[in-house]
A and B are shown apart, each in its own frame.
Chain A
């Protein structure tokens, strides 16, 4: 190995311009917070501009790999970048009115969100386990702080501490897995993992299992999910809107990359069985426990655990169509899940208190627009046709059936039947209960309205005209060296 690790060329700089833009915007907001706090009401706009600039740089960046084959710019990373950027936009839009209502509008929030976003971008673009890990840690550090953002609210502090402890635990698994893979392959780049014979080595198997655990934590995949409900409950809702979507997508992509590199000739059956078991466990546990939830954010946390179970089906299927299905699924999940959190944020008057679902009684009448979008998001999460969620499940189950994983598909649809129970419960509370006296939802802020409109429109457009996204996703998935259709 003669190449030096630090060798910046113009191409390298162009490749990381999107991330530089995000970090710089974060720093700018932090400086403005310190020296010009009167500009606070413009922070969200600045943050949005930062995300837009980063997306522009991402689209402009020349394709190919940089940093000695460690950093990728391809249709896949651009598509992922759009997915992450869109999530960030929704989170920022929701954050502004949210923080104003709470009286905690501070620049740190946006800065941390942007830095966390940078970390997730690194995870999707890095072709080196270390870059991925640095991305993961950047994300985690930023969100540990965001989880405890309301210092005076004990639930928020608890969320911060819990997320930190479990997150550190998960990162340790990831790091140990990386070490094992490094030990076996003498390299940290993904392509180093493709050496013949590695797939059968015990160290690699253990390394992969540890990575599965580590990224399973980030995905809130059962049995590594325990942190999610508590953290979601205490964390500011806009941050949850981001955390519950973007890092999960990035984690699944990383797993696809690593598995794709190691299992060049297809995933061994025992491994597939293990992943399938994980998928079944996560779907079932998430759905069954969600039935018993009374807090809106906890309910969505368990729903997310179940949704990640569905996604893991695609990991068990493995192959290009499965990855394309995952990409479509995550776009659907973005509009539905981030939309649901946006609606939750817009529907609850007091952010620092718990969010019992019962408080939404009659919101269909008192706050028709956010309620309608929330109902739409829940129907989408349940996978009712003509919504984005159905399209996601459609391609996912198609991929599973094509590979002959019939049992997994049947368990998947039966699970979505269970999930209808709790999604409909929320719809019932929204529309079929009388409003509670004196518990009116807050007036709807323009930014909330915009975020909700974007998500609602996204759900319907993706649900009714999915053909072009599927085409793009397939093309993007083809850039990964995966075996299988």
Chain B
């Protein structure tokens, strides 16, 4: 057992939820409360097991740590190849925190087909964790796609009234991007085989390949499309409001908290290092789409009457900021983007959770159905306010650090106006979020039913409070996180820069001749 935890810690963290899911399948279908408790217990256990990832991770060391490698399809050089750098570490921790949080919320709020629900969540957790640690493109693709199936069921079975439409749209949108990425992965691996005579799908081997011109552009676009849909980058975001609104609360938490991040993560982990030249050529487009996303998302969010839809559009806006940071490609903006992914996971996760709390009591998410409930449900109000302040970037909370780092980092890049435009997005976010708080919690209490609202239950409080504690922690000690991100960001930038220099020297031999 000790040896297993020592040498295969990452695998244990990834596959523990799957093992829990298999265990649940052995239970009788009627054992609802047992299934609930086992699923929650497994996710908490996974969180506990993942803590050593954080402590054993060596801060300041570039490259991947805690690696494991086993042959999987040896004839094609496909390996079970996993490891962590700062970026994946953070998102792994985010996943192992948010899954028990959402299952804790579900403990009291899911009645239908509890066993299936719990199985879906645990399989989903394995899928997400697997795609975050995979360093082999074939392995990554498997996890990446496997993730869709449980989420499809979570939205489609346990979702709201338009769940069928939303789940189908979610599946088809995501799939349409990733199928082309699948071909691109195959193509890159085949090129590697032709060039070196050896089969490999390992990221490290494939990043050594250089592609030029149109080929690189097509390959990059195939990858970028898959990730852009997932983020989602404007104008590919239309699946998101539907999926978020219709998903059950716990599903929204995971969807917004982790799955969207996988788009940005995949872009940083795979698209950028594999096709640096094309990525740099398209970076301005990415930044512009990010700016549009920030402002468009904010404006549409302001127009919503449904709380969940409002939070969903705020995600489009916030992830636009992350995209801008990636497009600007300075050390600071990239670090900020990665930090902001975590921040958004915490704050939006908490917002969806608390909207879920209200919804479970009143069965409506219309803003106008509430108003003036701050006195009735003081604890909910306090938690919601903290999450809101985190989301709009109040200093002292996590959101501020992330947004500020992105804006400053972008200002240092050649694209200053992105930073200026994005700053207006931050202001807009304060407007729509504070309006939301005002209309729901303050204003006069006019709907009589709201007088009977009950405050958070202990389990709901624990779930939300966990997230609040993390928001404060990152807000006060951001360097705990940033120190882990920086080496990963720097080595990413270094590898891209080195490849670009190599590419341009080989493309223009006469110039490098002169330099010598």
List chain A positions with a Cβ less than 8 A from chain B: 365, 368, 379, 384-386, 390, 394, 397-398, 401-402, 406, 409-410, 413-414, 416-417, 420-421, 424, 428, 431-432, 466-467, 470-471, 474
Q: Is the CB of B183 within 8 A of A428?
A: no
Is B149's beta carbon under 8 Å from chain A?
A: yes
Q: Is the CB of B190 within 8 A of A410?
A: no
Distance in angstroms from A147 CB to nearest chain B CB is 35
Given contacts A385-B145, A417-B179, contact A401 B186 (CB under 8 A): yes
Given contacts A379-B149, A385-B142, A401-B190, contact A428 B75 (CB under 8 A): no
12 cross-chain CB contacts under 8 A: A384-B145, A384-B146, A397-B186, A398-B186, A401-B190, A409-B183, A413-B182, A416-B179, A424-B171, A431-B153, A431-B156, A467-B74
Q: Is the CB of B156 within 8 A of A428?
A: yes
Q: B113 contacts which of A365, A413, A428, A467 (Cβ < 8 Å)?
A: A365
Interface contacts beyond A413-B180, A424-B171: sample of 16 additional A-B pairs, CB < 8 Å, sorted by A: A368-B29, A386-B146, A402-B190, A406-B187, A410-B180, A416-B179, A428-B164, A428-B168, A431-B157, A432-B157, A432-B164, A432-B167, A467-B71, A467-B72, A467-B75, A470-B73
CB nearest to A412 among chain B residues: B183
Q: Is the CB of B113 within 8 A of A417?
A: no
Cα of A417 to Cα of B178 in the assembled complex, Å? 10
Distance in angstroms from A413 CB to nearest chain B CB is 4
Given contacts A386-B146, A424-B168, contact A398 B190 (CB under 8 A): yes
Q: Is the CB of B183 within 8 A of A421?
A: no
Distance in angstroms from B377 CB to nearest chain A CB is 33
Which A residues are CB-close (under 8 A) to B113?
A: 365
Distance in angstroms from A153 CB to nearest chain B CB is 34
Cα of A421 to Cα of B175 in the assembled complex, Å? 11
Distance in angstroms from B243 CB to nearest chain A CB is 15
Cα of A406 to Cα of B186 in the assembled complex, Å? 11
Which A residues are CB-close (under 8 A) to B175?
A: 417, 420
Which B residues are CB-close (under 8 A) to A421?
A: 172
Which B residues are CB-close (under 8 A) to A420?
A: 171-172, 175
Which B residues are CB-close (under 8 A) to A379?
A: 149
Q: A386 contacts which of B142, B172, B176, B190 (Cβ < 8 Å)?
A: B142
Cα of A66 to Cα of B186 in the assembled complex, Å? 41
Which A residues are CB-close (under 8 A) to B168?
A: 424, 428
Is B211's beta carbon under 8 Å from chain A?
A: no
Instruction: List B99-155 residues whose CB lies under 8 Å from chain A.
Output: 113, 141-142, 144-146, 148-149, 152-153
Cα of A331 to Cα of B389 in the assembled complex, Å? 56
Which A residues are CB-close (under 8 A) to B176?
A: 417
Cα of A402 to Cα of B192 in the assembled complex, Å? 11
Which A residues are CB-close (under 8 A) to B344?
A: none
Is B365's beta carbon under 8 Å from chain A?
A: no
Which B residues are CB-close (under 8 A) to A467?
A: 71-75
Cα of A421 to Cα of B172 in the assembled complex, Å? 8
Over the window 154-173 of chain B, the binary record of Cβ atoms lying under 8 Å from chain A Cβ atoms (1 yes, 0 no) is 00110000011001100110
Over the window 39-71 of chain B, the binary record of Cβ atoms lying under 8 Å from chain A Cβ atoms (1 yes, 0 no) is 000000000000000000000000000000001
Interface centre among B74, B167, B172, B183 (most CB of A within 10 A): B183
